[in-house]
Amino acid sequence: MDQVLRIFWGFLSTVLFGGLLGTGLAIASRKLKVEKDETVEALEGAFPGLNCGACGYAGCGSYAEAVAAGTDEDLTKCKPGGADTLEQVGSIMGVEVDTNAARMVARVHCIGGSEEAVRSFNYQGISDCTAATVLFNGDKACKYGCLGLGSCAGVCPVNAISKTDNGLVVVDQDLCISCGKCVDICPTGVMRMIPESADFIVACNSRDKGKDTKANCKVGCIGCRICEKKFPDAGYKVEDNLSFLSYDSKDPGRAEAAAKCPAKCIIPNKVKAEEASNAG
Amino acid sequence: MSYFAILITYVFISNLILAQFLGLCPFIGVSKNVESAVGMGFAVTFVMSIASLVTWALYHFILLPLGLTYLQTIVFILTIASLVQLVEMVVQKYSPVLYKALGIYLPLITTNCAVMGIALINIQSGYNVLESFTAGIAAGIGFLLAIVLMSAIRVQMETEKVPRFLKGAPIAFISGGLMAMAFMAFDKALLNNLVG
């Protein structure tokens, strides 16, 4: 009985003591509350709160502080928030903000899946593109292509990237918040940002000479310049044996150029939602 | 024991990290660069000295008279955790500058076993209040010394070629172990030579 009482007293005094400390802390937290700057709080509410770091700050909080303190005058750094956030930030700070800045999305510039692209060896290491790149620039014969191991999917804060069945990855552009993390981590540079409004893309990243590209992949850009020469106004420009498309102007010639492309690597940009969700 | 002897004991001979292996999580976790190691070291010194005082008072004025000394471990945990929370609030309210320097480290110390360790050691060694306080400060300085040395080593190691399987925490533990062996040079004989 003595032992039981001892346990009881021990229990009771610990509970009392803990309760006392807890109450004390609760009162203290009320009394010692630090008033946050109203502007900062309003700004934090306007930002998406993803803490993705696209603005270059540690998180939404630190960007809000910098904006409120006036140390950062660029109010358009929050890409994930889109036009809504920009509008809110503008009204909080009392400044006109250009909300029409084109939303950028990430896109894999490669369609050389397991059937189209030649593999030089069978990679069986860990599922990480950087690890694969260390081994002879990856298992693809083309060292510029998408390795499809999904390092980008791993860093995407909103899970917009998924692997496909044919050894590539695909970005769901509706979910993409343009934070650019996938672009940073991609070892081959095949992930690039394009305007969401882009109608066509040159889905290849190979800087190899035309002959080599052709040997490595059925759908690689061979730098033949047909798109550039036949449709000079469409915005195609071939550099380093690779055609780049500039989106400054809209020109119907792009569709015809896509049809004329011998490698068939100029494709419509829009990834259909169901295609993205079926993948992987 | 003289205060000087206590100081030497907890900074070098019974260094909490390198001789007693307490508080290893911040030792490995916050020692990636010198700046944060210094911040962490001072925060720990600060908390240890206050915690030594408070737990000494708690033990001698409450637990001992009430015959509840068997509860000391759990009560000390509660006290230290709430104390750190309270200190964090006070610092945030009255000294934003100090809060910027120490604030982010304070919550990490709430459940640090080194702080708990020095509180229990004080009781076990039968120190009086000033001796406890000195031991708290000394243990904090010992922690500061160890973590700053460690961070300097780790900064240096960033540029070295470390085998991939040893990168990060493994090599940090190995160098920590080597440093602990070096600290074995400080033993009781040193203390006897110094204070006679």
Domain extent listing, chain A? 38-93, 104-278
Model confidence at B52, in pLDDT bands (50, 70, 90)? very high
Size of interface A-B (CB pairs under 8 A): 33
pLDDT value for B186: 86
At CB < 8 Å, which residues of chain A contact B? 9-10, 13-14, 17-18, 21-22, 24-25, 28-29, 32, 34
Average pLDDT for B66-88:
88
pLDDT value for B128: 92
Angstroms from A29 CA to nearest CA on chain B: 7
CATH architecture, domain defined by A38-93? Orthogonal Bundle (1.10)
The answer, for B82 touching chain A at a CB cutoff of 8 Å, is yes
Cβ–Cβ below 8 Å for B82 and A32: no
- pLDDT above 60 (res B46): yes
Torsion of CA B95, B99, B101, B104, to 10 degrees: 180
DSSP summary character for residue B184:
T
Residue B195 lies in a domain: no
Of residues B94 and A109, the one with the higher pLDDT is A109
**CA closest to A11 among chain B residues:** B71
**CA closest to B78 among chain A residues:** A18
Q: Is the pTM of this model over 0.90?
A: no
Cβ–Cβ below 8 Å for B79 and A10: no
A104-278: which CATH topology?
Alpha-Beta Plaits (3.30.70)
Cβ–Cβ below 8 Å for A18 and B86: no
- pLDDT above 80 (res B111): no
Task: Give the number of residues written for chain A.
Answer: 280
**CA closest to B91 among chain A residues:** A32
Q: Could you say which of B86, B92, B93 has the minimum Cβ distance to residue A25?
A: B86
**CA closest to A22 among chain B residues:** B82
Angstroms from B106 CA to nearest CA on chain A: 15
CB A240 within 8 A of CB A263: no
Q: Name every chain A residue with its beta carbon within 8 A of the beta carbon of B92.
A: 32, 34
Counting the structural domains of chain B, the total is 1
Average pLDDT for B126-146:
94
Residue B194 lies in a domain: no
Half-sphere exposure at residue A93, Cβ-oriented, CA atoms within 13 angstroms:
25
Show pLDDT as tens, one digit a residue, over chain A (280 residues). Answer: 788 888 888 889 889 989 999 999 999 888 887 777 778 888 888 888 777 777 777 778 788 888 888 787 777 778 777 777 888 888 888 777 766 666 788 999 999 888 888 888 888 888 888 888 888 888 888 989 999 998 898 888 888 998 888 889 999 888 888 888 899 889 999 999 888 888 888 899 999 888 889 889 989 999 888 888 888 888 888 888 898 888 776 667 788 888 888 888 888 887 544 454 444 3
The answer, for B25 touching chain A at a CB cutoff of 8 Å, is no
Per DSSP, the three-state class of B12 is: helix
Q: Name every chain A residue with its beta carbon within 8 A of the beta carbon of B71.
A: 10, 13-14
**CA closest to A30 among chain B residues:** B89
Cβ–Cβ below 8 Å for A34 and B66: no
Instruction: Residue A278: name the closest of A114, A166, A148 by CA.
Output: A166
Residue B45 lies in a domain: yes
Instruction: Residue A158: name the closest of A182, A184, A176, A181 by CA.
Output: A176
Residues 6+ apart with CB under 8 A from A130: A151, A185, A187
* Residue range of the domain that includes B129: 3-20+29-189
Q: Report helix angle B113-124 to B34-58, nearest 10.
A: 40
pLDDT value for A86: 81
pLDDT value for A55: 78
pLDDT value for A61: 79
Residue B196 lies in a domain: no
Radius of gyration in angstroms for the set of CA atoms belonging to chain A, rounded to a whole number: 27
Average pLDDT for B34-41:
86
**CA closest to A6 among chain B residues:** B68
pLDDT value for B145: 94
**CA closest to A35 among chain B residues:** B93
pLDDT value for A276: 46
Cβ–Cβ below 8 Å for B82 and A24: yes
Cβ–Cβ below 8 Å for B75 and A34: no
- pLDDT above 50 (res B165): yes
A101: left (phi over 0), alpha (psi -120 to 50) or beta: beta
Two structure tokens written together for B97: 């500058």
pLDDT value for B1: 62
The answer, for B66 touching chain A at a CB cutoff of 8 Å, is yes
DSSP summary character for residue B187:
-
Residue B9 lies in a domain: yes
Test mutation, A3, A6, A13, chain B, max B CBs within 10 A: A13
Residues 6+ apart with CB under 8 A from A75: A67, A86, A89, A90, A93, A95, A97
The answer, for B195 touching chain A at a CB cutoff of 8 Å, is no
Test mutation, A17, A33, A65, A126, chain B, max B CBs within 10 A: A17
pLDDT value for A271: 55
pLDDT value for A99: 64
Angstroms from A189 CA to nearest CA on chain B: 25
